[in-house]
Structure 1
Amino acid sequence: MKKKDNQNSVVAFGVHGWFHIIYMMLMFWFYVGMINDGSNNIAGKIAEHMLGSAKMAGTISTCNSIAGIIGVALFIVIGILNRRIGSRYMSGINCIIAGITYIGVLNAPNPVVYTIMMAVTCGTIMSAGYLCGGVLVANWFPKKKGIVMGYTTMGHNLATAIYVPLILFLVGRFGVTHACYPISIGCIILGIVGILFIRDTPFERGYYPDHVSKEVYDEFYDTSDGADSDKDGGWTIGKLLKCDQVWVVALVTGVFQICSVGTMSQMINRTTNGFGFSITVAASIMSACAIVGVVGSFLIGVLDQKLGTKKAMIVFGCWYACALLFNFTDTMAGFWISIVMIGIGIGGSANFTTSLPASVFGRKGFDKVNSVLFPIQGIITALTFAINGAVMNMTGGNIRYAYAIDACLALINVIVIIAFVKDHKYNADWIAEQEAKGSEEAEDFAKTI
């Protein structure tokens, strides 16, 4: 296949393109495992070790929520550093730090130390995947960010399928305090690989964005700044904070993260306490759900690529709300239907955290945009643990009602997306392509910039 035909390909990204995709997939794997699914699915074990009772798992979830909010301060600092030294170095450094502090998470003697260690781990590994990785996606794959995020978010599903049973095995075999070492070493190695081999832009590897030819790039992309994709695109922090789309995009992507993270982080709890399965069977069900999700991530990526991010989010929101409501019925039929539907939709929310901002704001100045937008996303996402913790503390560990809350949030979010998201509004590459095709819509958008 010639590069010129790569405009419509969902697989032709070149060796270096695929290397970056796999790197980002692995960062997501560690993030979901260390912060979301892993930490919350062993919350009972952590509580038993630290507080003397597995029934204090709700306290651990609350600590995770507090840690997530504290981690936002790190998002801001890392966002500034990311713009100065680039995503290559910053993502690698974040992975190394996260690997080290994760040891402190599972060896914390009390909730205070646990929260501090979790905050640093959360802030660094989440920034590596979303903040640094988001900039890499916007730079390398500005028009194919939907399908690329479909691939990278397979790391979420693979974490659920592999990390959760792995950490359960490690905790059971070596205890909470020693279970962290294989994970930490792997994360540190990934960081070193990133520093050595990742590049901030495709131009550094002799590629053009989306692995298209020079001819296609010159005709259908905004080339006003040449190969320099690190400019601010005219944005300042003040302008971004006053821009309604920053807040709207952060809100709708963050709410979908609440729904997804809240579901998966407590799936074993819900499956055992709500439907009577053993922990072993529940872990197997969760893994099967995640394996279905690998295919689901690809399908959502294709949907994003073909329909556009905004329409794909509307479909996702309705789908995921239905899945959660099926689970809430507390029937076995509803449970099995929800497992399949949740599995297919797992990667959707993570896809949109980068895909929607990249779609609305485009490649130029994305590192500046993401340095402001991502911390807001992080604050909203962290609320999922507060919701889960509050529900468990009020119901004695029953997470069922959190699923109903998340379903309502998903449906409300769909309405907000329809009413307020303005796709492509600041996307210079999209406008350039539409102008090349003679689109009146692009001219209207161009006037708003």
Structure 2
Amino acid sequence: MSVENKNQLASENTSLNFSKGWGIIIYCMIMFFFLIGFSIDGLNIVAPAFAKKSGIEYADVLGLSTYAGLIGLFAYVIVGKINDSIGSRITSGICMIGAGASYIFWGHAENILQYGIGLTLVTSFINGAAYIAGGSLVTQWFPKKKGLVNGITTMGHNMGSAFYVPLISFLIGVYGMAKGMTCTGVIAIIVGILGILFVRNLPQERGLYPDNVTKEVYEKEYFQSSDEEECSTWTIVKLLKTKELWLVAIVIGVNQLVTTGVMSQMVVRNIGLGFAPAKAVGLMTVCACVGVCGSYLFGWIDQKLGVKKAVLLFLVWYCIALFINITDTTIGVYISVAMIGVAIGASANFMISLPASVFGRHGFSKVYAVYFPIMNAILMSNYVINAQAIRVTGSLRGAYMVFIGLLIVNIILISLIDTRKYNKDYMKEDEILNK
């Protein structure tokens, strides 16, 4: 497909004219904010606070995240099926309410069992809301602008890193774990209720068409299908036999393994390098603020150059950032924090954009229900890597070296993926451009 021909497609552009679709974008952005705060970056504060409160070794508390994530894999399968059956509006709302209630329970944990149960419930519900239900919303509302839209919605990730960590640190410091975590848990419940009331599964339910295109453009440039065909395209068995599903799940799983491993322990890593706790938290905030720019930048690259080139650029950038960090120099930390910020901003974009590009919007909820648990199983192993690095080397430097190696493997794997293979909207484009 030539650049000249591609520009003739009215649906392929970087316009931010999303009309009522901005409501979906903001909703997904808020869910991502809580995802990061509740289950990833917030662990920088919650895990040490519980270890201090209970007298349990920090490495043992951290290790529970792996078990919580593995147990959560079964929950993701269930949430995926529910999402496919009742739609993303209800699923996202229920999961947000569940996440908020579970976060309150987690904050009241008095022993290691309660802590593990709370963490498991929070992880399951918030991922179900933001990624499984939220991912389906983005793909249905913005099938061809998913890269650009993900670049905006995932700003919520970075805002969570920038503002949630100091917020929960303040709340726990002043009010203690129970009351501090109850404050943000209640807000998440309110978001879930608002989602059920105002969100819609499809743009057509708001009198719009996907990507906010006109009726004429939609009928000309998008694949049309019956509900029966959409529902019968994929089955679990067929997906598990599809090479592209496994490649996509591995690539994104490794990307998120590295990002979660880096961000969930960035404060601990910086303190280990000699930074005062307040400055270590401040560096993480700077990292996250830079990430807002990274989210949009790589979303724009995705939209202009395609998801494969965007992922390749991201992987090379990330490798360089982590290599600079393991020099263990002060200037290296400052440079790497900025570069990692761009990388974490981009990383979450691809969790939805890559599978949506390969498989398209038709039957996407089925695809995501199978893809997400596999991807997440890979992601959750980061806690094992971090915990073992702390035990064996006394620092997280060894874990970062492993992360670099995994990213290099990903460069090879993404090169093997046909990122448009099953996407029927792209097939429709090719028909138009080849006439």
> What is the TM-score normalised by the length of structure 1?
0.93
Partner SS state of residue 389, structure 1: helix
Query: Does the aligned pair in 1 maintain the 2:80–2:369 contact within 8 Å?
Result: yes
Matches of 1:132 and 1:427 in 2, distance apart? 20
Q: CA deviation at 1:86?
A: 0.4
Tell me the equivalent position of 1:392.
390
Partner SS state of residue 24, structure 1: helix
Count of residues paired in the alignment:
427
Cα deviation 1:143-162 (Å, max 9, x = unaligned): 01001111111011000100
Query: Does the aligned pair in 2 maintain the 1:270–1:399 contact within 8 Å?
Result: yes
Query: Does the aligned pair in 2 maintain the 1:201–1:229 contact within 8 Å?
Result: no
Residues 1:312 and 2:310 aligned together = yes
Tell me the equivalent position of 1:444.
none
Q: CA deviation at 1:106?
A: 2.0
Q: 2:404 aligns with which of 399, 407, 418?
A: 407
Residues 1:35 and 2:51 aligned together = no
Partner SS state of residue 142, structure 1: coil
Q: 1:44 aligns with which of 41, 48, 52?
A: 48
Q: CA deviation at 1:230?
A: 9.1
Q: 2:27 aligns with which of 23, 28, 36?
A: 23
Q: CA deviation at 1:372?
A: 0.7
Tell me the equivalent position of 1:253.
252
Tell me the equivalent position of 2:14.
9
Query: Does the aligned pair in 1 maintain the 2:357–2:419 contact within 8 Å?
Result: yes
Partner SS state of residue 17, structure 2: coil
Q: Which runs of 5+ in 1 are unaligned?
A: 440-449
Query: Does the aligned pair in 1 maintain the 2:256–2:347 contact within 8 Å?
Result: yes
Matches of 2:106 and 2:58 in 1, distance apart? 15
Residues 1:193 and 2:194 aligned together = yes
Query: Does the aligned pair in 2 maintain the 1:10–1:147 contact within 8 Å?
Result: no
Letter of the 1:182 partner, please give it. C
Query: Does the aligned pair in 2 maintain the 1:41–1:269 contact within 8 Å?
Result: no
User: More deviation in 118-127 or 398-407?
Assistant: 398-407
Tell me the equivalent position of 1:426.
422
Letter of the 1:237 partner, please give it. I
Matches of 1:296 and 1:10 in 2, distance apart? 18
Matches of 2:276 and 2:298 in 1, distance apart? 31
Q: 1:319–1:229: structure 2 CA closer, same or farther, 3 Å change rule? A: farther
Matches within 5 A, 1:190-229: 190-225=191-226, 228=227
Residues 1:435 and 2:431 aligned together = yes
Query: Does the aligned pair in 2 maintain the 1:49–1:176 contact within 8 Å?
Result: no
In angstroms, what is the RMSD of aligned CA positions?
1.5
Q: CA deviation at 1:40?
A: 3.4
Tell me the equivalent position of 1:80.
81
Matches within 5 A, 1:62-73: 62-73=63-74
Matches of 1:264 and 1:123 in 2, distance apart? 19
Cα deviation 1:71-112 (Å, max 9, x = unaligned): 111000111111111000000000001100111222212222
Q: 1:416 aligns with which of 401, 404, 413?
A: 413
Q: CA deviation at 1:232?
A: 2.5
Tell me the equivalent position of 2:282.
284
Cα deviation 1:302-327 (Å, max 9, x = unaligned): 01111111111111011001101100
Matches within 5 A, 1:115-194: 115-194=116-195
Partner SS state of residue 200, structure 2: coil
Partner SS state of residue 81, structure 2: helix
Partner SS state of residue 176, structure 1: helix
Matches of 1:149 and 1:263 in 2, distance apart? 21
Q: CA deviation at 1:6?
A: 6.2
Letter of the 2:419 partner, please give it. D
Q: CA deviation at 1:340?
A: 1.1
Partner SS state of residue 181, structure 1: helix
Tell me the equivalent position of 1:102.
103
Q: CA deviation at 1:117?
A: 1.5
Matches of 1:298 and 1:41 in 2, distance apart? 28
Matches of 1:229 and 1:38 in 2, distance apart? 43
Matches of 1:83 and 1:6 in 2, distance apart? 26
Partner SS state of residue 12, structure 1: coil
Matches of 1:17 and 1:122 in 2, distance apart? 27
Query: Does the aligned pair in 2 maintain the 1:233–1:364 contact within 8 Å?
Result: no
